[in-house]
Amino acid sequence: MKVFVTGATGYIGSAICDALRAAGHQAIGLARSGEKAAALAARGDQPLPGSLEDHEVLRQGCREADAVIHTALSFVPEAGAIDRAAVEAMLGALEGSNKPFIYTSGVWVYGDTGERMLGEVAPLNPPPLVAWRPAVEELVLDAKERGIRTMVFRPGMVFGREGGFLAGFFHDARTHGAVRVVGDGKNYWSSVHADDLADLYVRAVLRPAAGELFVTCGGMPQQVNRIAEAVAEACGVPGKVEHIPLEEARRQMGPIADCLAMTCKAGSTKPARFFGWTVRRPSIFDEIASGSYL
């Protein structure tokens, strides 16, 4: 298969392209610059120069590919509007094709889940940073009626491959001598290894489940303090965890601070039932102790 991947040079997108190549497929990667295009070509992917705002390029990628995976996100205040317009352009190009289209959302759309463990049908209460996402999810799922095999994935916090949120924790421990956590650290996060997540994307484009939404987390939610303490231990500064008050974090980081302070417990057996997906990569604590970050 040829699979058009937006965000192909990003963290999740790179893992997906690697998994596609390993399974014998060709990734067409959206490339925002000549440097990124060269990086895609060097690893064996087909670059397609353009950005999320280049709608004709997006339509071209959709026409050339057998399936589409959308992972890209613009980190600007207008991210929601840019994302929706890009999705509308791609869905328009795919209409009537019966091609798979996977939209990448995230478990933050649930808001703070408290003690509850939530799945696909749980009500949503997104924080301001991602308040626009549920409407785009709905747009994608509704496009099943337009002859597109659409799916929505809601990953947890992604780790592994030297990236994701753990990279920030390791950087703090190595450069500041302590892992810095927003809030009191008593909140819980659901997570998933990047390579496990990439494996699920490949399975889904091969056996698409039209109009279906999936929570894509691996293992049980873990307390942020425990994760931070494990990173501090791995970096030789045991017990060194600093807590940034939420108000201070908001001033430093903006609206993402509220997301990092939330408890988000989410999980589902639905990916296993539909795609035979199982978690095979190291757990978050195994990855911290002996994985890519070392």
CA nearest neighbour of 155 among 4, 13, 251 = 13
CA nearest neighbour of 183 among 145, 126, 225 = 225
Q: What is the pLDDT of residue 278?
A: 96
Q: What is the CA radius of gyration of the chain?
A: 19
Report if residue 172 sits inside a domain: no
Q: What is the pLDDT of residue 163?
A: 98
Report if residue 103 sits inside a domain: yes
Report if residue 174 sits inside a domain: no
Alpha helices in the chain (DSSP H): 11-22, 34-42, 55-64, 79-94, 133-142, 165-176, 194-206, 224-234, 246-253, 256-260, 270-275, 284-290
Q: What is the pLDDT of residue 169?
A: 98
Tell me the C-alpha distance between 163 and 194, whole Å. Answer: 9
Q: What is the pLDDT of residue 162?
A: 97
Give long-range contacts, CB 8 A cutoff, 24+ apart: 127-132: 127/255, 127/258, 127/259, 127/262, 128/255, 128/258, 129/255, 129/256, 129/258, 129/259, 130/106, 130/259, 131/80, 132/79, 132/80, 132/81, 132/83, 132/84
Q: What's the domain range around 47?
A: 2-158+193-218+267-279
Report if residue 238 sits inside a domain: no
Number of domains in the chain: 1
pLDDT tens-place string over residues 77-87:
999 999 999 99
Report if residue 83 sits inside a domain: yes
Low-confidence stretches of the chain (pLDDT beneath 70): none
**Contact (Cβ atoms closer than 8 angstroms) between residue 68 and residue 7:** no
Report if residue 6 sits inside a domain: yes
Report if residue 144 sits inside a domain: yes
Report if residue 255 sits inside a domain: no
CATH of residue 33's domain is 3.40.50.720
